[in-house]
Amino acid sequence: MASLATACVIAAVTTSIHIAITSPTPSPPKKDRLKADYTPFLFVCLQVLKGSIWVHAIIELAIALSHALALNLSARERLLSILLMDQHPHSRTISIPPIRFVAGLAVVIGGCIRWLSYREMGRYFTYHVTVLKEHRLVTTGPYSFVRHPGYTGGNLVQVGLVFWHGARGSWLRESDVYKSPIAWLVLVLCSISVTLTLKLYAERPELEDALLKKEFGKQWDDWAKNVPYRFLPGIV
């Protein structure tokens, strides 16, 4: 039963990460982008991150379900030996200790906030700094609490996924995959993706506020007066 619960948590966390790092809308034309910070290199790193997240999840799910489905000992040992890359994997398994649970919870909460932001913004939510044709100022839903809820959710996901995959109980920690040079290359690209994304999340709100203030004038001023915080109500 515990293994089945572990599998459900893995699926929920991975789905939340996927939602949070997948643009809900097509990229606007280059001529309409006001800041070239979402570079092709970052895009490649992000795709590597997304792919590796799903590879990790599929392997972790296979290990968890091998216990939940009560495979015979010999078959399970062979499967674990392959997936954990260890000829003697008896003491290794996929689990969710407290630090991993907290990280996973942060990811799920962040993914939900991010999804609500996507839904409320609709076609105006892009991964590029831009003002679209017939753009309107969205001040409802999560945007009635803070001005940049998408970044709030995104930060929770980016920080959470680091601890989710880096803590004991994860495939990255329990297997010998780190002995492969290719695995280290993927890990470096994923780390770059997280670092650059967090950098964007820190820099963009001020730029976007200035852009929206210029575009909408008094309407933005009234919204900023009613919603003075960018990320967390009453804090920042």
Indicate the DSSP class of residue 26: P
167: confidence class by pLDDT, cuts 50, 70, 90: very high
> Which pLDDT belongs to residue 210?
92
Q: What is the mean pLDDT of residues 101-108?
A: 98
Residue 30 confidence (pLDDT) = 78
Domains plus CATH for the chain? 2-226 (1.20.120)
What share of the chain has pLDDT > 70, as a percent? Answer: 93
pLDDT digits (tens, 9 = 90+) for 47-71: 999 999 999 999 999 888 877 666 6
CB of 24 closer than 8 Å to CB of 125: yes
pLDDT for res 204: 92
For residue 209, pLDDT over 70 is answered with yes
Task: Decide if 172 contacts 166 (C-beta within 8 A).
Answer: yes
Write down the pLDDT at residue 135: 84
Q: Which of 21-35, 134-148, 150-164, 184-198 has the lowest mean pLDDT?
A: 21-35
